[in-house]
């Protein structure tokens, strides 16, 4: 997949997630969060009023620290595809 195809597939996956109205499992949300942050090169730290949730987000980011932007986009796309393929 070339850069343009990867970017288009990533944007489509992001749209699928944003338009989905049912709740997501927490583990899927954390993976998507971390992959999205890496894919968009967003290094800002998690913030909010719930320290435990911020700790989980920070841990998810830590687990993806070795990924580059393209790898994170591919992982995001794969996670979205797997979620919609196997959800009941």
For position 65, what pLDDT does the model report?
92
Residue 4 belongs to what H/E stretch? helix 3-19
How far apart, in whole angstroms, are the C-alpha atoms of residue 33 and residue 63? 12
For the segment 24-45, the average pLDDT, to the nearest whole number, is: 91
Q: pLDDT (tens digit, 9 = 90+) per residue, 7-16?
A: 999 999 999 9
Q: Which pTM value belongs to this model?
A: 0.90
32: domain CATH number is: 1.20.80.10
For position 50, what pLDDT does the model report?
86
Asked whether the beta carbons of 5 and 73 are under 8 A apart, the reply is no
State the total domains in the chain: 1
In terms of residue numbers, what domain contains 32?
Answer: 3-17+25-86
């Amino acid at each position: 997949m070339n850069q343009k195809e990867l970017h288009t597939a990533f944007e489509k996956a992001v749209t699928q997630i944003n338009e989905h109205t049912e709740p997501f499992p927490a583990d899927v949300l954390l993976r998507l969060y971390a992959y999205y942050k890496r894919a968009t090169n967003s290094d800002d730290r998690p913030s909010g009023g719930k320290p435990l949730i911020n700790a989980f987000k920070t841990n998810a980011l830590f687990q993806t620290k070795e990924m580059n932007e393209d790898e994170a986009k591919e992982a995001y796309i794969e996670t979205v595809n797997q979620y919609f393929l196997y959800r009941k």
